[in-house]
Structure 1
Amino acid sequence: MPTVLFAAPLLSESASRMVQAIGSLPGVRLGVVTQEPAEQAGEATRQAMHAHWRVDDVCNPEQLRWGVEGLTRQLGRPDALFGAYEQLQVPLAEERERLGLPGISSEAARNFRDKARMKRVLRAAGLPCARHGLAGSFAEAHAFADAVGYPLVVKPPEGAGSVATFRANDARELDAALHAAPPARDRPVLLEEFVVGDEHSLETISVGGRALWHSLTHYEPNPLEVLRQPWIQWCVVLPREVDDPAYDDIRAVGADALRALGMTTGLSHMEWFRRRDGTVAIGEVGARPPGAQITTLVSRATDTDFVRTWAELMVFGTFTPPERKYAAGIAYLRGQGDRAGRVRGVHGLDRLSDATKRLATDWQLPTVGAAPRPTYEGDGWVLVRHPETAAVRAALKEIVETVRVELA
């Protein structure tokens, strides 16, 4: 009967799904460390947990250790310790090493977490990625810009989900981005060449350091453009043709990148670009499940619960490749109007064609009266699937052109 410990800052909708998936595995005794009381979770999530430990900051290594030790006294020595939150990967790896548990090493976790270090590792392995540099001052940032040219991407070295990420088209916009998060010697910013091309993701299941399965998506348009234009309703498309020879190059590059960074067993999420000349470039790689509802897209495309598949991988080290039966896609609904206002209404749902409505499998509509969300995932979403990728693209196009979230 394996004892499994899972850590997350909050028992959010996504984290709760993971807790329920892990707790449903046969024979598993599950302990959970979070920053909020277990009483705030739903009934199904509470039922999945055998024990819970609350801390003030789960990303603090000392508090994480306190939570692990507290759960160990209740449940016994753990057999597995993991979480999905990007900022937790290094503390979790350090704690696994202290306990002698399986999982990626702390050195590998730092390779994935520190984006400047990541790119040094990738470039040393001869893998394609954007030119980059760390700047501890305004002068160093402008010197990098003079050497590389504009546009540039400005972001924290340990960021996640495009948070605090800016595109600078000239020196004025670079200064504006730097003023938003002033660089310092002990808190530098990461500057990158802006890669011109189409952006995608590559999800990979690895077992024992070998890439065994992959999936991929198309971002339409790129998330950084979505952040710059908060009115854009964008889409993520998961094509059915993931084994098409057109993707041979990124599959090979992705597998090489994971080996260089130190992936062992787990699910990884890579953001990558197809340049205008057809070549590929790696953006970032996370040693964790993807966000943006991509696990839900994979679940619908394969008629499986992909979160449970990931849980089985992390607990038992086993993986059965699911069959790709459908293409799937998600349209993100984003508020139009006064960003300082509230959601007044959602318009256009009744004008969607019956054909598009029949393809919808999941949706989360904006709540009237809610404040607009600042993230690229927007205020709501609609997920569709169909055996043909073209039909999914057509449905998503109709949704983003027809549905409007009114802010006032």
Structure 2
Amino acid sequence: MQKVQKAQKLPKVPKVLLIEADVSAGEDLLTAAAEIGVEAHVATHEDVFRSYRPELKERITGTVFTDFADPETALDDLVRFCRETGIDGVVACWEFLSPLATRLADRLGLPGHRPELADACRNKRLMAEAFTAFGVPAPRTVVAGDPGELARRVAESGLGFPLVVKPAENAASIGVSVVRSAAELPRAALLAQSQTHKTSHGLALDTTLLAQEHVDGEEYSVESVICDGEIHHLTVTEKFTTGGTSRAELGHTVPADTTPAVGTALYAAATAAIRALGLRNGVAHTEVKVSTGGAPKVIEVGARPPGDHIMRLVKEALGIDEARAYLQTVLGLRPDVAPRRATAAAIRFITAPEAGVLRWTSALPSGDHVVATAMSRMPGDEVGGPYDNMGRIGQIMLRGATAAEVNKVAAEAMDSITVEMATQW
């Protein structure tokens, strides 16, 4: 009698849902998914998806369209899609949707963060309350609903100037200003409350005003992967920003050129902040300033991948693929966070000296230290000034043997670039 051979059951291909992949980390996550054999599905809005670049679309297995401006309906839509599709992990790509990602993972019983603290990972008012409750070293903060109340609360608090005024919800330094006297508070409050909805999804923003003590010192971020509550700090990133009344980010270097003692203090502060916000499975981008006296103060934490191509810097400098580690974590796997080399990488952003129409830029530098260059604005385009991260017109990524070396070649590269604006008559 002929034996009937049983069909061999193929192992299930893991599937993840990326919530809004059209961000700087999206391409890295889609690339990592393809490399480790994971199906990448994307949640977005149909109108937004039309503007996705072809190289993003070709790496996406499937899409689900929803309206993120209606969080409850979006959550129901995504729960239904994930159950029908067999999604195994939820990835927060865009910080404005990290609370939704946390709630979705919880509803599905997948690895994620503590859902009761989901909003505190995005809303800076709630984040400041969590930091205070858990004793996280952070700037003192007062909260107000309007400019008049802000002035009263600042006066009553005893906070001295300068202060940092910002909205409870926004990103990319939008609405943030440094205030040096009470007379400047109304203008700062107006700026902080000028954006009420976030494009391109029309998300309503909490425009509650925050005034925080100004920490005078160097700025860093700590890049971390968290698996079942175990925190793996990958590196410290050095941040370069504008001075004056604005705080636009001009570039980043990985790893930071700092002392071991400062690095240890930064990791301790980031650990405290991550635990206070209930982050359990995923990644964290913790922004910290170190005062001239050496004490770290946590500014905020993002429960999502770092922006500005920092994940690429981590990979270039240390050989750690943070995007892959993130996917492994949300799939319930042990993340690969072992460094494979000890070099350095940097990115610097080209900005216009003032808002207006871009006339001309000189050729971007090339050479052994240059990894990649790109222009995001062309001659004839209207551009913003160097007041927040929306005023960038291009970027250059570099490599070096050490942080000191890459900072040096980055400074030389930026000095070689000329930007001309059209004359306004």
Query: Which TM bucket (shorter chain)?
Result: 0.7 to 0.9
Deviations 1:294-345 (A, max 9, x none): 11111110245432333233334322222342111112111135x221x222
Deviations 1:74-129 (A, max 9, x none): x2x32212222111111222222222222002223223222222222223332211
Which one of the candidate residues 260, 271, 280 is aligned to 1:255? 271
SS where residue 409 of structure 2 aligns? Answer: helix
Residues 1:47 and 1:80: Cα distance change in structure 2 (over 3 Å): same
Give the whole-Å Cα distance in 2 for the aligned partners of 1:158 and 1:39.
Answer: 27
Give the whole-Å Cα distance in 1 for the aligned partners of 2:245 and 2:31.
Answer: 32
Deviations 1:145-196 (A, max 9, x none): 3221211111121222222212211123211122235599x85211111111
Does structure 1 residue 98 correspond to structure 2 residue 112? no
Farther off after superposition, 59-68 or 79-88: 59-68
In the other structure, the counterpart of 2:97 is 88
In the other structure, the counterpart of 1:346 is 361
SS where residue 270 of structure 1 aligns? Answer: strand
Length-normalised TM-score, structure 1: 0.86
SS where residue 290 of structure 2 aligns? Answer: strand
Does structure 1 residue 239 correspond to structure 2 residue 255? yes
Which one of the candidate residues 296, 306, 313 is aligned to 1:290? 306
| Aligned counterparts, 1:130-279, within 5 A | 130-146=139-155, 147-181=158-192, 187-220=207-240, 222=241, 225=243, 228=246, 234-239=250-255, 244-279=260-295
Residues 1:331 and 1:148: Cα distance change in structure 2 (over 3 Å): same
In the other structure, the counterpart of 2:324 is 308
In the other structure, the counterpart of 2:401 is 387
Give the whole-Å Cα distance in 1 for the aligned partners of 2:142 and 2:273.
Answer: 19
Shift of 1:43: 4.3
Residues 1:24 and 1:72: Cα distance change in structure 2 (over 3 Å): farther
Does structure 1 residue 299 correspond to structure 2 residue 315? yes
Give the whole-Å Cα distance in 2 for the aligned partners of 1:59 and 1:197.
Answer: 40
Farther off after superposition, 129-138 or 317-326: 317-326
Give the whole-Å Cα distance in 1 for the aligned partners of 2:128 and 2:70.
Answer: 24
Give the whole-Å Cα distance in 2 for the aligned partners of 1:379 and 1:59.
Answer: 33
Deviations 1:245-275 (A, max 9, x none): 4311111222122122211121101111110
SS where residue 379 of structure 1 aligns? Answer: strand
Residues 1:59 and 1:399: Cα distance change in structure 2 (over 3 Å): farther
Residues 1:302 and 1:373: Cα distance change in structure 2 (over 3 Å): farther
Residues 1:279 and 1:85: Cα distance change in structure 2 (over 3 Å): same
Q: Which residue identity is paired with 2:370?
A: A
Give the whole-Å Cα distance in 2 for the aligned partners of 1:311 and 1:21.
Answer: 8
Q: Aligned residues: percent identity?
A: 25
Runs in 1 of length 4+ with deviation above 6 angstroms? Answer: 240-243
Give the whole-Å Cα distance in 1 for the aligned partners of 2:420 and 2:247.
Answer: 16
In the other structure, the counterpart of 1:399 is 413
Does structure 1 residue 370 correspond to structure 2 residue 370? no
SS where residue 347 of structure 2 aligns? Answer: strand
Shift of 1:201: 0.8
Residues 1:348 and 1:363: Cα distance change in structure 2 (over 3 Å): closer
Residues 1:266 and 1:369: Cα distance change in structure 2 (over 3 Å): same
Shift of 1:54: 2.0
Residues 1:314 and 1:171: Cα distance change in structure 2 (over 3 Å): same
The alignment's C-alpha RMSD in Å is 2.8
Which one of the candidate residues 339, 360, 369 is aligned to 1:322? 339
Residues 1:376 and 1:226: Cα distance change in structure 2 (over 3 Å): farther
Shift of 1:390: 1.7
Shift of 1:23: 4.1
Give the whole-Å Cα distance in 1 for the aligned partners of 2:272 and 2:325.
Answer: 24
Deviations 1:274-307 (A, max 9, x none): 1011111111111111112211111110245432
In the other structure, the counterpart of 1:35 is 45
Does the Cα contact within 8 Å between 1:11 and 1:36 map onto a contact in 2?
no
| Aligned counterparts, 1:9-158, within 5 A | 11-12=22-23, 14-26=25-37, 28-36=38-46, 38=49, 40-57=51-68, 60-70=71-81, 72-73=83-84, 75=85, 77-146=86-155, 147-158=158-169
Give the whole-Å Cα distance in 2 for the aligned partners of 1:372 and 1:307.
Answer: 31
Give the number of the structure whose residues are more often helix, by fraction: 1
Give the whole-Å Cα distance in 2 for the aligned partners of 1:165 and 1:79.
Answer: 38
Q: Can you give the 5+ residue segments of structure 1 that lack an aligned partner in the other structure?
A: none
SS where residue 358 of structure 1 aligns? Answer: coil
Q: Which residue identity is paired with 1:149?
A: G
Aligned residues between the structures? 392
Give the whole-Å Cα distance in 2 for the aligned partners of 1:367 and 1:287.
Answer: 33
Give the whole-Å Cα distance in 2 for the aligned partners of 1:187 and 1:345.
Answer: 37
SS where residue 161 of structure 1 aligns? Answer: coil
Give the whole-Å Cα distance in 2 for the aligned partners of 1:52 and 1:295.
Answer: 24
Residues 1:200 and 1:33: Cα distance change in structure 2 (over 3 Å): same
Give the whole-Å Cα distance in 2 for the aligned partners of 1:142 and 1:119.
Answer: 19
Give the whole-Å Cα distance in 1 for the aligned partners of 2:60 and 2:303.
Answer: 24
